[in-house]
Amino acid sequence: MKEIKSLLIVGIFLLYGCNKHIIQVQYIKEGKIQTERIPWKDFMVNQSSLRNHYIDSMSIGLLDSISFENNKPDNTVTHCSPIKLNSFRQVKVFSPEYYEVGTAYYTSHCIDYYIKLFHGKLNFNSQREYKSIKVILGDIPLLTSPNEFIFEKQSFLSPSIFYHEVGHRAFWLLDDLGIKFHGNTYVSIGLLEYFTTSLNDSPIIGEAILPSKLIRNASLLYKYPLPDSMYLKYLFSVIKSSFQNELQDSSKNISRYYNLCMKTYGPRQNEIIDNHRGALVVTSTLWRIREKLGQKKTDRLVAETILDLNNYMSQHANFYISDKNEKIEDKISWYDLYYGLLKKDKELFKGIHSDLIKLEFKRTGFPVEKVKNI
């Protein structure tokens, strides 16, 4: 990565022509520098602000420290010194403007994608707290959230991070529609991450942002039932190995976060699923289906299935053969998704992809034989 950075001595410039303003943004995907031309007409721009119909305001700052509300590691509060922006007429790579432009564009691009995919049913503007976005230059991108995007200085943008965070917002809205995910389960996050990979047209999530061992790759085969590597103990061990030097200094942000996680989850880390890694059993299965069917057809199949998941879940007793003493929870499970995909494939495509769906779920290790033939 350092070699790539040292070779890149270019800027990002606002181009003028045919009454259109175009800005070229460079990002990284699968180890290669890519360039995207962004139509500037999508934003209202002045000397120090970007906004559009999804974004009311943006700010950028240098991270000074973090604190934790109610002493909970998931309730992070960032403390920043504001950074003054220069003109957007000439935006240099790794400048504050570079990070703000990229954040505004990829966030808005992802919102457009979800609105179209779910037929306008998702009202992102109802999430008022996410219409003000903070861009932060700091040492702990691990704590990025849907309205606070944290980047290390001199790091490339990765669209997957924006697609992932906007995906959280989309699935909260799906919850609001009454779809019974009931929070961040490995099934709901697995579906979310499918759309992250599909929109980015890459199975890699978190490239150039997360430590290398925390980058997720949906092109690999992940097995169900979830192995030990899908639980918090593994996550914390990876954080520990990725930040060995920093963790020796108790004043470092990552050190304070890690120590609080140990205090909060330590005794139970073998019992709690890391839903972002556990989700890969679903994401990788859907990614393999997408490789055969293409983005357009697979996105439609998955999205239409999601909208009918409650209906499929209500038919549990008719199609799912549960084990003795197996607890059937009142939330969407893998077999609801599997059954739903097969039913929706019959509805949309006359069932011509049913063998592929069955093969890939079975390949992951889901006990598809417990779902009665449709």
Give the range of the structural domain holding residue 142, as residue numbers without chain letter.
1-177
Domain end (from 161, 177, 193): 177
pLDDT tens-digit readout, 149-166: 999 999 999 999 999 999
Neighbours of 79 (CB within 10 A): 11
Residue 8 CB neighbours (<10 A): 13
Strands (E), the chain: 11-17, 20-29, 32-39, 44-46, 49-51, 57-68, 76-82, 90-92, 132-137, 148-151, 204-205, 216-217
Domain assignment of residue 57, yes or no: yes
Each residue's pLDDT tens digit, 289-324: 999 999 999 999 999 999 999 999 999 889 999 998
Q: Which of 348, 347, 350, 367 is nearest to 358 (CA)?
A: 367
Give the least confident one: 32-46, 108-122, 222-236. Answer: 32-46
Q: Residue 309 falls within a domain, yes or no?
A: yes
**What's the whole-number mean pLDDT along residues 36-56?**
81
What number is the average pLDDT over the span 331-351? Answer: 97
- 304: tokens are 């239409």
pLDDT of residue 91: 82
Q: Where residue 20 falls among pLDDT bands split at 50, 70, 90?
A: low
Q: How far apart are CA 88 and CA 226, in angstroms?
A: 47
Q: Are residues 218 and 342 in the same domain?
A: yes
Decide if pLDDT at 8 tops 80. no
pTM: 0.93
On whether both 227 and 84 belong to a single domain, the answer is no
Q: Are residues 154 and 216 in the same domain?
A: no
Asked if residue 118 and residue 192 are part of one domain, the reply reads no
Helix 354-364, helix 334-349: angle, nearest 10: 160
Q: How confident is the model at residue 48 (pLDDT cuts 50, 70, 90)?
A: low
In a domain, 192, yes or no: yes
Q: How confident is the model at residue 141 (pLDDT cuts 50, 70, 90)?
A: very high
- Predicted local confidence at residue 43, as pLDDT: 83
- Give the three-state DSSP class for 201: coil
On whether both 164 and 199 belong to a single domain, the answer is: no
